[in-house]
């Protein structure tokens, strides 16, 4: 009997950079860019699917930490498309800003079923 992921209801995402020294203004700009990209990717990959953007407490090395919660849970394939596209966009964005040694992490909160 195995356990498999049925649907993803929400995900926590963070971007971390060790030993950064960004000002609050710079952190807010990165946050706005990341959120606008997340909203765009959601519309691009999940038509008519509402998504809430909830801020989470940041650890010292986090420059971004949010929870994305969908109005209706996503099938794993649709969620994977969202995560892949958002990671690609944020990686390009941070690279263009000449930020190095960053890490983008997703932590899924999903519904699981036993088979």
Give the domain CATH number at 23: 3.30.70.600
pLDDT tens-digit profile, the chain (115 residues): 555 567 888 999 999 998 888 898 998 999 999 999 999 999 988 877 789 999 999 998 899 999 999 988 888 899 999 999 999 999 999 999 888 889 999 998 755 555 4
Q: What value does the CA radius of gyration of the chain take, rounded to a whole number of Å?
A: 15
**pTM for the predicted model, two decimal places:** 0.86
What would the 3-class secondary structure string for 26-48 be? HHHHHHHHHHHHHHHHHHHHCCC
Number of domains comprising the chain = 1
86: number of Cβ within 10 Å = 23
Task: Quote the pLDDT of residue 32.
Answer: 95
Domain span including residue 48: 3-114
């Amino acid at each position: 009997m195995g356990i498999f992921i049925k649907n993803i209801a929400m995900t926590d995402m963070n971007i971390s950079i060790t030993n950064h020294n960004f000002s609050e203004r710079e952190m807010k700009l990165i946050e706005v860019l990341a959120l606008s990209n997340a909203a765009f990717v959601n519309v691009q990959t999940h038509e008519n699917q509402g998504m809430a953007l909830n801020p989470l407490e940041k650890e010292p090395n986090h420059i971004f930490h949010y929870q994305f919660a969908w109005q209706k849970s996503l099938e794993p394939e649709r969620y994977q498309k969202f995560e892949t596209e958002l990671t690609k966009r944020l990686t390009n964005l941070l690279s263009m800003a000449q930020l190095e040694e960053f890490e983008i992490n997703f932590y899924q909160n999903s519904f699981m079923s036993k088979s």
